[in-house]
Structure formats: C-alpha cells, structure tokens
C-alpha cells in the first residue's frame, strides 16, 4: 500500500510549509553559526571539566615530551640541540610559538586546539556545501561538532587537533581546481 507524500506529511505532522521552512533553516548561515557556537561550547565545557584533574597541568608521556621540546624551542633552541625528533616536529614548534607569546600555559595551548577543532568544523561545512549543498555541509559540520572523539582529542595536550585541522584544510584546498589550490593542499598536507 503506497501513501502519497502529502498524506505522509499529514500523518507525520509536517506540512509543505513546515518542510520548506526546515529546509531553509538547515541551509542557513545562521544554522552554521549556531553549529560552530555549539562546537566551541562543547569543547570548552569538556576542557573546563578537566581543569581540576592532576594531569591537566602535570603532563606525562607524549604530552610531557611535547611540552619539554616546546619549552626548549621557546627558549631559543630552534634546532632542538643534539636531540633527534622521533615524532612530527611541527606540534612542538606551534606550542613553542604560543609559549613565546603567552608564557608556559597548557590551558592556552588546549584552548588553541579547541579553536582548531571549531575551525575544522567550519572547513567540513565548506567542503560539504561544495559537494552536496548547504544542508549537507551544515549537517556534516554538526556531526563533527558533536563527535565525542574529536571533543576529547582537542582537549588533550598532543598533536591530533593540529593534524586533523591541517589534513581537513588540505582536502578543502584539493577540492578547488587551480594550481595555487593544489599547491596549498600540498603544503597543508606536508605540514600535517
């Protein structure tokens, strides 16, 4: 038994006007802005919930390594002395740059990573809008905004947030059809 679309809308409670209104809302820039605000709020709330834990400021394992290397770089040892980088070197340099401007503060580094996470949501929206239109981009950004592993990783003192942002940036550039965009995609991917 087939039910007409209009009959189905009546059963579900959606009129044609409500469907069009919902479509306009999901396609709107205001919806995207609210998604980015939600992404920031969730990430900051998670970060603040970790603030009183002993390991928030007392870093261990990889986080401690990144912090120590960043402090040496911020102090002027730009080539990391006689030490060999056994991990990607970009993250300690970015952290060192933050330390140079604001001092040794792991909260600021984590807030920077939250900002990278929100910008990644924005990049996902841009890519989704190019591939499937505004509603697709906005809903893709919403899915990333509430994705728990992203929220968790962006609050950790480690390189994941920077890497995900750079790879997403690279993909966004690669979607454009110009030499400059491809070049930028290669640079972003290389940095990642």
For 173: left if phi > 0, alpha if psi spans -120 to 50, otherwise beta; the answer is alpha
User: Over the chain, what is the mean pLDDT?
Assistant: 82
Q: Residue 176 pLDDT > 50, yes or no?
A: yes
Contact 71, 163 (CB under 8 A): no
In tens, the pLDDT along 5-26 reads 555 455 555 555 655 665 676 6
Distance CA 113, CA 39 (A): 12
* DSSP per position, 161-192: HHHHHHHHHHHHHHTS-SHHHHHHHHHHHHH-
In tens, the pLDDT along 107-120 reads 899 899 999 999 99
- How is residue 189 written in tokens? 């991917």
> Over pLDDT 90: what percentage of the chain?
21
The candidate with the shortest Cα–Cα distance to 26, out of 129, 172, 120, is: 129
Contact 155, 113 (CB under 8 A): yes
Lowest mean per-residue pLDDT among 7-21, 141-155, 165-179: 7-21
Lowest mean per-residue pLDDT among 67-71, 83-87, 119-123: 83-87
The residue behind tokens 């949501």 is: 121
Contact 117, 150 (CB under 8 A): yes
Model confidence, pTM: 0.79
Distance CA 152, CA 161 (A): 10
């Amino acid at each position: 038994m087939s039910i007409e679309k209009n009959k189905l809308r009546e059963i579900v409670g959606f009129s044609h006007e409500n469907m069009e209104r919902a479509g306009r809302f999901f396609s709107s820039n205001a919806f995207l802005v609210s998604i980015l605000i939600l992404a920031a709020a969730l990430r900051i709330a998670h970060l603040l919930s970790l603030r009183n834990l002993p390991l928030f400021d007392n870093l261990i394992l990889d986080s401690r390594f990144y912090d120590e290397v960043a402090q040496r770089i911020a102090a002027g040892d730009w080539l990391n002395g006689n030490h060999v980088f056994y991990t990607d070197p970009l993250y300690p340099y970015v952290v060192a740059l933050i330390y140079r401007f604001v001092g040794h503060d792991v909260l600021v580094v984590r807030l920077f990573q939250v900002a990278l996470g929100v910008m990644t949501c924005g990049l996902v929206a841009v890519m989704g809008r190019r591939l499937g239109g505004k509603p697709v981009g906005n809903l893709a950004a919403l899915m990333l905004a509430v994705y728990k592993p992203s929220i968790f990783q962006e609050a950790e003192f480690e390189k994941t947030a920077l890497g995900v942002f750079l790879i997403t940036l690279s993909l966004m550039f690669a979607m454009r059809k110009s030499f400059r965009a491809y070049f930028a995609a290669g640079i972003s991917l290389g940095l990642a």
